[in-house]
Structure 1
Amino acid sequence: MLRRTVKNGLRTSSQLAAARNPDQVQQLESEWQLAKPFTELPGPTRWQLFRDYQRGGQYHNLGMEEMMHLYRKQFGDICMIPGLFGMPSTVFAFNAETFEKIYRTEGQWPVRGGAEPVLHYRENRPDGFFKDCVGLFSNGPQWGTMRSAANPVLMQHRNVAVYLEPMQRVNRQFIQRIRELRDRESSEVPANFVQTINQLTFESVATLALDKELGLLRATNQPAEAAKLFQDITIVMESFFELGLKPSIYKYISTPTYRKFSRAFDGIFDTCSLYINEAIERIEAKSEKADSKGNKSILEQLLQVDRKFAIVMAMDLLMGGVETTTTALVGLMLNLAKNPEKQQKLREELLSKLPSPDKEFTLEDMKSLPYLRACIKESLRVYPVTFGNARSAGADVVLNGYRIPKGTPFMLTNIFLLKDERFYPRPEEFLPERWLRTKDAGEDSSEAPMKNPFVYLPFGFGPRMCVGKRIVDLELELTVANVVRNFHIEYNYPTEKAFRSTFLYMPNIPLQFKFTDVGY
């Protein structure tokens, strides 16, 4: 069956291409004929993989980065990892040339795997709520319909003005919370400060997706339903790794991890529905729900598409935009704390625009902060949020001398290239200057990264680029800018193994940052 599919796919592709460039078609067909069969890709057998995941096996209790390292060491730059218990077999790739070839085949509806637990829950929910609106974790035409409706609301630059005001309110609460939490003598915050950062990122996304400040940054009297929503999101993300990337029989027998995952998802659905119903009542009670400049809120724009669409988008934004942004913020603060001269350079740029820490940024201010954006880019290289991107081959293609049929799932693992000297000289150093134009980079102008757009893709690529990119960009810029304007950041502890790798990178050390007031 596989050989027949590959052959027919090649013939169809060749016929389409022949009308344009017969010589190129002949070259591609020759390349295909000379390539090794797909079945000869290196990799473990299903039994070997299953055995190695068990106690005493080489993959037992390893994080994703450690497993990726072993795959690459044992099998080279491309390998096939067989699927277990209904999971798809996946090709893992570790070089930029492969990334580019796969991305170039994407087509109109790029296929992204890795979300099977979410899809399984939504497809099997008893009330059928998600039947015609699975969300952005779906693929094919249904994903295309959802994304086409979401892009004008979330990806248009004009809507950044709608994000700015509510995010600045949340940021003010975060700065105040730091002052409340830090020790009076040492100025250090508690070791569990990651929870406060999580509350910040959660509150920021919820303010947009649910049109409501949930109150999680308060010292006391946090609303019960908001606290439960926060807890349910945490449970879902913690369970995702176990269900989505490790062998599990949850599709056949409801395991304890899946039951916990499903209950948390039920809670997210119920709470999001509650908040959106409340928002609808507020909107209907007014002639127009708008901010001080007459812009409609993000939720109201989503509701103009459809109520179900708004609920599903709120859930997807909360799942996709909380843990990821927390990891990015923790990495940024660690990098700035361990590189005080870079932190001071950033502070000087910020204070040149807004000398007073009480004055809020405007959109014009945010456009003229190149060193801030360079710090964010470099930090996402040093401490990436995830180890790569999932895709499926959109056409038959030859990779590393092997025939890869259309539809083959891929994990495009770029984590090792981000620390590769071929692309980033002095890769272990935090050098924001490498992202500046040469005339602005100063002493580090020679350290600009090699121009390969397929190595550094923190928000993905093409039509499936992160739909919340503009939200995350603004949240990172505002939070770091406000923290650095108000405080000197220090971290006086080791940073080895600062993050553990599951489906995402998660903070792994006590975050006892020292926040000292900046003098003016």
Structure 2
Amino acid sequence: MFLHVRKATNMYRLLRFHGIYHTELSRISERYPFSRSLAKVTNYLPAIERQEYLQDTNNDVICSATLAQPQPEHSMDTQIIHSSSANTLDCDNAAATAEILDVPKVRVTPDLTMEKTALPFEEIPGPAILKLWEKYWKYVPLLGTQLFCSLLINRFTQGRLNWNRNITPLQYLFNEYGPIVRIHGPIAGNIVMIHRPEHIAEVFKQEEDSPIRSGIDILQHYHLHYRKYRLPGPFSMQGAEWTDVKVKLEKPFTQQLSQYFDRLELTSDELVQRIRKIRNRQDEVPGQFIEELTRWSMECFSILMFNRRLGFLESTGLNVASEPARIIEALTTAHVYLSRCETGFQVWRFFETPFAKKLFGACDVIDSVIGKYIRQAQNKVRHRTLTPLDDKDTMAEESSPILEKILFNERIHPDDITTLLMDMIVLGVQATSNCQGFLLYYLAKNPRVQRKLFEEIYPILPNRSSTLNEATLKSLPYLKACLQECLRLRPAFPYITRVLPKTINLHGYTIPKGTYLIMANQIAARREENFEDPEKFKPERWMTNNDNPEYNQEFSYLPFGHGVRSCLGKSMAKMEMMLLTAKLIREYRIEYDYADIGSRYMMVNVPNRPLRFRFVDRD
């Protein structure tokens, strides 16, 4: 018994020497308290700091191999690094530690010194079973280059996550292997996953003018091979091709949004009134309320792009044969089968699978609608080009919809605009509607926050018939904070992908050029070291001054990406969601009485339960 206690004490001293305390080891229950989890714990240290230098009883220097990794046999001529005096432990501790860990001892001369260099890429920890597959899977090119590897990770971790549904697959991998994880082989090469803000910042620091990220293979296949368009779409464009398109689109997408404000407000008012018609006697809306939010988001999109309201929120409902009804059905179908095609085995690369056929059919419906409005816009632009502009025409041009501005001013080919709008509808519209659903859920679950938000909105909207403008919307800081907090907890895209343009050292490892990285921004935003009470919905955290450490966590909060490849439509989406939320909170008290709602990944985060809200009229 005394020997066991002594061994545990010596190991505890070793861990304390590296800044690891008992709170990080509290889950251990074996007879030898540190025998199982030491490797997992030391994964959280930079790799070079995991080299422990020990001294034997003869005052010769010995060295353990990296604690977190299985070690090969050492030959007598193995080079071992001599430790500095600051890193040398006493002989008793060294002997006890070596005995517990079964460390191979190699005698070296005390004159050798060490240059602290990063460990090789192969040493990055990760699921060992995937290493066995690496040599075989490279011959089966069915998984493509898409790094949204939810299916693989979910399958690999499914059995281990049954006991705790609050742990996501990526969280499990980080908890198991440390802040940097390598997935070996099966997804067309090696993938490195990170979540620490300092690591994410280092990756973005390497970005060049044309960063490369993972594409959406099935949409690229649809655009290039099925429809024979020139470009693969904005989500799959890379390098100079993307930079050229972004430069042309940035101005129309980010400027003069105020000209659409009144019509967007009218769309929000329509949804407010439609809720009165669809709720039951208990003021509860149907479980398919997310479809209502999708209609609202699609109506906003048609106003911004086509300068017309297509009637998605008709009070009498949609005729099944109408254009809006066909678009909503196609959008819902495309969203489901896009996820199934993209995260599974990509057999559709060789022949058209049933899932791919349904996806392409849904995209064809959307494509036909987009094509119709592009042709109408082309006719207007052609007339404007042939006719000299007077002052009135100049004003009309400045207030024209985004689609016409792109065609007239930026000279983008119609096929390229089609691929752009297709991707924005299939992913962007869904992302906005689902984020809005999560925001209403968090407000319903936090009555105090909702009450405080109402108190901010009421002076701006004293009557139900009161209207907003862009200036008054910007004067609602708590509303903005609520949206930011929702996007922290449930961003539309839970992770960001990049391809490294150059070799870097990260967490003590060498990451070679061309490596795919997954930056888990949703996990970063839910870590205690980045945000206090990370699982709580606390909008107040965004209303502090710049002296608050939380305020400066730039790379812990990336709901719209970062840098050159950040979301083009973020200004539109934020304005739409803030406007609708203000109108709903002014009109209703929102309640939710069912099980907690989480998220599931279908290319974007979507609620995993029906949004059965109660919208209770305010007095």
Corresponding position of 2:374: 276
Q: Is 1:262 aligned with 2:360?
A: yes
Residues 462, 153 of structure 1: CA spacing in aligned structure 2 closer, same or farther, 3 A cutoff?
Answer: same
Give the TM-score, by structure 2 length. 0.70
Corresponding position of 1:8: none
Corresponding position of 1:205: 301
Alignment map for 1:460-471 (pairs within 5 Å): 460-471=561-572
Structure 1 residue identity aligned to 2:219: V
Residues paired across the two proteins, number: 476
CA contact (8 A) 1:64 1:502 kept: no
CA contact (8 A) 1:54 1:60 kept: no
Say which SS state the counterpart of residue 126 (structure 2) adopts: coil
Residues 83, 320 of structure 1: CA spacing in aligned structure 2 closer, same or farther, 3 A cutoff?
Answer: farther
Give the TM-score, by structure 1 length. 0.83
Percentage of matched positions with identical amino acids: 27
Corresponding position of 1:154: 253
Deviation at 1:395, TM superposition (A): 1.8
RMSD: 3.2
Corresponding position of 1:302: 406
Query: Structure 1 residue aligned with 2:590, among 478, 489, 500?
Result: 489
CA contact (8 A) 1:53 1:59 kept: no
CA contact (8 A) 2:283 2:614 kept: yes
Corresponding position of 1:173: 270
Alignment map for 1:1-400 (pairs within 5 Å): 34-44=117-127, 45=130, 48=133, 58-59=157-158, 66-82=168-184, 84=186, 87-125=188-226, 128-129=228-229, 131-132=230-231, 134-156=233-255, 159-183=256-280, 185-218=281-314, 219-222=316-319, 224-281=322-379, 295-304=399-408, 305=410, 306=412, 307-400=414-507
Alignment map for 1:416-435 (pairs within 5 Å): 416-435=523-542
Say which SS state the counterpart of residue 165 (structure 1) adopts: helix
Deviation at 1:459, TM superposition (A): 0.6
Deviation at 1:97, TM superposition (A): 1.7
CA contact (8 A) 2:335 2:427 kept: no
Higher relative contact order (CA 8 A, sep 6+): 1
Whole-angstrom CA distance in 1 between matches of 2:614 and 2:302: 28
Deviation at 1:64, TM superposition (A): 12
Residues 289, 467 of structure 1: CA spacing in aligned structure 2 closer, same or farther, 3 A cutoff?
Answer: farther
Whole-angstrom CA distance in 2 between matches of 1:368 and 1:354: 12
Say which SS state the counterpart of residue 425 (structure 1) adopts: coil
Q: What residue ranges of structure 2 are gaps of 5+ in the alignment?
A: 1-113, 138-150
Residues 309, 39 of structure 1: CA spacing in aligned structure 2 closer, same or farther, 3 A cutoff?
Answer: same
Residues 60, 128 of structure 1: CA spacing in aligned structure 2 closer, same or farther, 3 A cutoff?
Answer: farther
Say which SS state the counterpart of residue 244 (structure 1) adopts: helix
CA contact (8 A) 1:77 1:93 kept: yes
CA contact (8 A) 1:329 1:476 kept: yes
Whole-angstrom CA distance in 2 between matches of 1:505 and 1:132: 27
- Structure of higher CA gyration radius: 2
CA contact (8 A) 1:136 1:147 kept: no
Corresponding position of 2:144: none
Deviation at 1:149, TM superposition (A): 0.6
Whole-angstrom CA distance in 2 between matches of 1:195 and 1:289: 39
Residues 285, 225 of structure 1: CA spacing in aligned structure 2 closer, same or farther, 3 A cutoff?
Answer: farther
Deviation at 1:274, TM superposition (A): 1.7
Say which SS state the counterpart of residue 35 (structure 1) adopts: coil
Structure 1 residue identity aligned to 2:574: D
Whole-angstrom CA distance in 1 between matches of 2:243 and 2:275: 42
Deviation at 1:241, TM superposition (A): 2.9
**Which segment drifts farther, 388-397 or 413-422?**
413-422
Residues 399, 55 of structure 1: CA spacing in aligned structure 2 closer, same or farther, 3 A cutoff?
Answer: closer
Whole-angstrom CA distance in 2 between matches of 1:490 and 1:382: 19
Say which SS state the counterpart of residue 168 (structure 2) adopts: helix
CA contact (8 A) 2:600 2:607 kept: yes
Which digits, 9 at most, give the CA deviation of each residue in 1:257-284, with x for residues without a partner?
2222222223322221123223444666
